[in-house]
Amino acid sequence: DRPPRFHRKFTELSDGDGSTSSPIRVMQWNILAQALGEGLDSFVQCPMEAISWSRRKYLILEEILTYRPHILCLQEVDHYYDTFQPILAGLGYSSNFCPKPWSPCLGVEGNNGPDGCALFYDQSRFEFLDSMNMRLSAMRIPTNQVAVVTMLRCRSTGRCLCVAVTHLKARSGWEWFRSAQGSDLLRNLQNLVQKHPTGLTGDPGATYIPLLICGDFNAIPTEEVYQRFAGSPLGLESAYKKLSQDGLTEPEYTTWKIRPTGECCSTLDYIWYSQDSLRVDAVLHMPTEEQIGPNRLPSFSYPSDHLSLVCDLSFKENE
Ligand code: NDP
Ligand code: CA
């Protein structure tokens, strides 16, 4: 017996186009590393039973299987080899995993190895082209944060898609560091998605491979790293802004937890996409404060302190 799952609805965004044959469903989610949840996070209002792996693993899988994303981007994965890789492979997903070089999980007794970022894609929807694991730098110095970048080809449209998943440095006081890590990631992605020049004109217009960047940026929308992504020459837009009335505002929260230091309710997670080549067809609502409940997250109803972000994207008919 346990409380019901959150019931969340999609907002459909009909841009009057109507040509949404079969959109690409994307999920971004920091699933909370088991070792961090048990050993370091101190979610004071969450009973330890709710954090046990035997409960949480089913809730995490249930959340993924409820939405069945074609692309699944996860952070704080410390059960890749023994759980997510084999189970999701059985469901038709291929994947790549990049552990953090010095994961804080390793300091927790009884840990299951380092946590890291994992990128899963539905093999029936996408053909694999290439993948790389990146260690992010800040001012040219390698850091403890990573990204997985996978190049895919959509089997139904033949279009290429470059997908990145990352988890930037946490905590306040590190805003400059996140900004430097974000700049490093953007620089690397720009080199990857810039197609080889087709002629001598050197015209960079519309020559980028469509890009999708999912992550726990550990940064609120006013932070420098967010502004760098929003203003980058890659033409990125944040999918969850589409949920708001004016289409310009991020949700009020993507994480909500209570630590000994107090309550933390903030927007830190994003799905960025190339607005030249991709369109958002639908966005999954965040659960309400009432659904989340007074003890916040994680809980017996929901296995992570971060909420999943899910949206449907389509290629625009250009080029
Ligand atoms: P980060 O600062 O990026 O944070 C690591 C994790 O801690 C994140 O997943 C983050 O979650 C979570 N976190 C954020 N705020 C808090 C908080 N207030 N309380 C508890 N957890 C929090 O760490 P780094 O990757 O830069 O790793 C450095 C840290 O790891 C250092 O504290 C270091 O001492 C420790 N470490 C210890 C090792 C050991 O063997 N003892 C080995 C390696 C590292 P979210 O992103 O969801 O906010
Ligand atoms: Ca965390």
The residue with tokens 């370091």 is: 40
pLDDT tens for 70-127 read 999 999 999 999 999 999 999 999 999 999 999 999 999 999 999 999 999 999 999 9
The finding on whether 129 has its CB within 6 A of some atom of ligand 1 is no
Q: Residue 260's pLDDT is what?
A: 95
Q: Please, are residues 29 and 74 in contact by the beta-carbon 8 Å criterion?
A: yes
260 alpha carbon, closest ligand: 1
- State if pTM tops 0.90: yes
Q: Please, are residues 272 and 235 in contact by the beta-carbon 8 Å criterion?
A: no
In sequence order, what are the beta bridge partners of 315?
278
d(CA 66, CA 138): 37
In sequence order, what are the beta bridge partners of 141?
138
* Integer Rg of the chain from CA: 19
User: What type of residue is 265?
Assistant: C
d(CA 254, CA 58): 21
d(CA 96, CA 131): 8
115 alpha carbon, closest ligand: 1
- Å from CA of 268 to ligand 1 middle: 16
Q: Residue 195's pLDDT is what?
A: 72
Q: Residue 15's pLDDT is what?
A: 65
The finding on whether 113 has its CB within 6 A of some atom of ligand 1 is no
User: What type of residue is 173?
Assistant: G
Residue located nearest, by CA, to atom 28 of ligand 1:
104
Q: Residue 168's pLDDT is what?
A: 98
Q: Residue 21's pLDDT is what?
A: 72
43 alpha carbon, closest ligand: 1
Q: Residue 198's pLDDT is what?
A: 52
Buried-state track 123-134, b at ≥16 Cβ within 10 A, e below 16: bebbeeeebebb
User: 231, 226, 192: which is closest to 211 by C-alpha?
Assistant: 192
The finding on whether 216 has its CB within 6 A of some atom of ligand 1 is yes
Q: Residue 199's pLDDT is what?
A: 46
User: 307, 315, 314, 316: which is closest to 67 by C-alpha?
Assistant: 307
In the predicted model, residues of the chain with pLDDT beneath 50 are 199-204
- Å from CA of 154 to ligand 2 middle: 32
Choosing from 28, 31, 102 the residue with most ligand 1 atoms within 8 A of its CB, the one to mutate for a pocket test is: 102
pLDDT tens for 303-315 read 999 999 999 999 9
Q: Residue 20's pLDDT is what?
A: 58
Residue located nearest, by CA, to atom 40 of ligand 1:
107
Residue located nearest, by CA, to atom 30 of ligand 1:
104
The finding on whether 104 has its CB within 6 A of some atom of ligand 1 is yes
Residue located nearest, by CA, to atom 42 of ligand 1:
104
